[in-house]
């Protein structure tokens, strides 16, 4: 037993070192987002100073991320500072994945496997260490939200959701899942959701005190939504079938309005089916339902970017470790996500987006079938 413990410790240490070395190799690379957005914002913050920077509109990111940028502005190399913060959250998120999988399965070995896969996942490495994007930050809090929810701590779940939302509006992709569990009467109560706007409002107070208009702070996500009118931006979803992308846009305003109705309709059907069936919410159903609801939101909503599938990647890892026989399905999601990154980073379409969209549709159907089978074979609640 003692020998096995030392082997496990050596494995974890090796994973930590190898994953860190991989990230270090990518630190000097500058993506387009860094050169034309984040680097410009950091230069402006360094020029004005952190406090004055909070009083004016410098970036289209939320106040919470601006606080982080201001804290990192004192470092000599801004690129390394931003990526270093992302890397810290990579490891923090991997630890939460470990805790979540251990809680779901009661198996520490599976938790360690999930931790390793998270740290070695290509899109997780690329997103923060090459692209210099911060998707791991809001996903870290969403993972905590899921952990608290599974432990029947509804208020803490929504507090974590509120913190995630204060960093990125993409955290709302998890909201349909939370709403379904609220209707099912599982830990979440309707009043718990009040924590989400409350925490978001509290996050704006430092910037408001610094002098930035409160209306501008609260409306930052509406500003972001207007910057990218395309129905899909390298994300292989339904709008690829309509050719409503960055290269050929035809009726984006009309399609977007219809698309919102379509997305709410699809998610509504999922909610109706799940909420009208009597079944026990097993750990397997918990993750499958979370993964399917997020993936369907991404597939049906307009204005999706390639990296918006980041949460699905993390859930796919948990799904695969929890049920190893479903690893090929999870791998399909991870592969599509990686192939969606490449056109933006390198300008190369390894596989045309329309084929990736077809593959994503197929994966969603397979995941829905898996959920249906789990529900039908589950004991009544």
Residue 223 domain-assigned? no
Residue 78 domain-assigned? yes
pLDDT at 261 over 70: yes
Claim to verify: residue 149 and residue 243 sit in the same structural domain: no
pLDDT at 228 over 80: no
Residue 132 domain-assigned? yes
Burial 138-172 (b: 16+ CB within 10 A, else e): bbbbbbbbbbbbbeebbebbbbbbbbbbbbbbbbb
What is the DSSP code (8-state) at residue 219? T
Residue 215 domain-assigned? no
Q: How far is CA 139 from CA 131, 136, 144, 163, 245, in A?
A: 16, 5, 8, 10, 26
CB 193 within 8 A of CB 182: yes
Claim to verify: residue 81 and residue 152 sit in the same structural domain: yes
pLDDT, tens digit, 9 for 90 and up, residues 27-56: 999 998 899 999 999 999 999 999 999 999
pLDDT at 184 over 60: yes
Q: Which of 357, 335, 342 is nearest to 127 (CA)?
A: 342
Say how far apart CA 154 and CA 347 lie, in whole Å.
Answer: 43
Q: Which of 286, 271, 294 is nearest to 173 (CA)?
A: 294
pLDDT at 302 over 60: yes
Residue 181 domain-assigned? no
pTM metric for this prediction: 0.96
| Other CB atoms within 10 A of residue 131 CB | 26
The answer to which of 126-135, 175-184, 231-240 has the lowest mean pLDDT is: 231-240
pLDDT, tens digit, 9 for 90 and up, residues 314-331: 999 999 999 999 999 999
Average pLDDT, the chain: 93
Q: What is the mean predicted confidence (pLDDT) over 337-347?
A: 88
Residue 160 is encoded by which pair of tokens?
A: 């974590």
Claim to verify: residue 167 and residue 252 sit in the same structural domain: no
Domain holding 368, by residue range, is 228-381
pLDDT at 1 over 60: no
pLDDT, tens digit, 9 for 90 and up, residues 205-226: 999 999 999 999 999 988 776 6
Residue 233 is encoded by which pair of tokens?
A: 């931006």
Claim to verify: residue 143 and residue 290 sit in the same structural domain: no
Claim to verify: residue 344 and residue 283 sit in the same structural domain: yes
The domain total for the chain is: 2
Residue 246 domain-assigned? yes
pLDDT at 249 over 70: no
Quick check: helix, strand or coil at residue 323?
coil
Residue 185 domain-assigned? no
Claim to verify: residue 316 and residue 377 sit in the same structural domain: yes
């Amino acid at each position: 037993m003692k020998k096995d413990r030392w082997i496990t410790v050596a494995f974890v240490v090796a994973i930590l070192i190898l994953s860190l070395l991989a990230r270090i190799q990518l630190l000097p690379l500058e993506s387009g987002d860094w050169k034309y957005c984040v680097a410009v914002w950091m230069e402006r913050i360094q020029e004005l100073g952190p406090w004055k920077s909070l009083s004016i509109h410098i970036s289209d990111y939320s106040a919470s991320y601006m606080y982080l940028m201001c804290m990192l502005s004192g470092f000599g190399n801004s690129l390394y500072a931003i990526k270093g913060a992302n890397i810290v959250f990579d490891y923090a998120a991997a630890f939460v994945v470990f805790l979540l999988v251990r809680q779901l399965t009661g198996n520490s070995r599976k938790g360690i496997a999930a931790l390793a896969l998270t740290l070695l996942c290509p899109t997780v490495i690329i997103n923060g260490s090459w692209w210099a994007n911060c998707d791991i930050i809001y996903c870290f809090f969403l993972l905590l939200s899921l952990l608290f929810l599974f432990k029947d701590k509804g208020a803490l779940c929504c507090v974590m959701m509120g913190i995630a939302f204060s960093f990125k509006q993409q955290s709302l992709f998890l909201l349909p899942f939370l709403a379904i569990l609220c209707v099912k009467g599982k830990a979440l109560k309707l009043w718990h959701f009040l924590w989400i706007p409350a925490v978001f409002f509290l996050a704006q107070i430092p910037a408001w005190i610094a002098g930035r208009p409160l209306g501008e702070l609260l409306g930052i996500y509406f500003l972001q939504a207007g910057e990218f009118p395309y129905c899909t931006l390298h994300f292989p979803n339904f709008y690829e079938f309509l050719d409503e992308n960055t290269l050929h846009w035809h009726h984006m305003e009309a399609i977007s309005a219809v698309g919102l109705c379509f997305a709410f309709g699809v998610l509504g059907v999922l909610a109706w089916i799940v909420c009208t069936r009597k079944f026990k919410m097993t750990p397997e159903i918990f993750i499958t339902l979370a993964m399917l609801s997020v993936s369907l939101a991404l597939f049906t909503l307009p204005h999706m970017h390639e990296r918006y599938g980041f949460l699905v990647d993390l859930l796919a890892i948990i799904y695969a470790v929890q049920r190893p026989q479903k690893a090929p399905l999870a791998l399909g999601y991870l592969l599509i996500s990686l192939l969606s990154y490449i056109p933006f980073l390198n300008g190369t379409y390894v596989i045309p987006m329309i084929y990736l969209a077809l593959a994503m549709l197929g994966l969603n159907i397979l995941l829905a079938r898996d959920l249906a089978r789990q529900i039908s074979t589950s004991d009544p609640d």
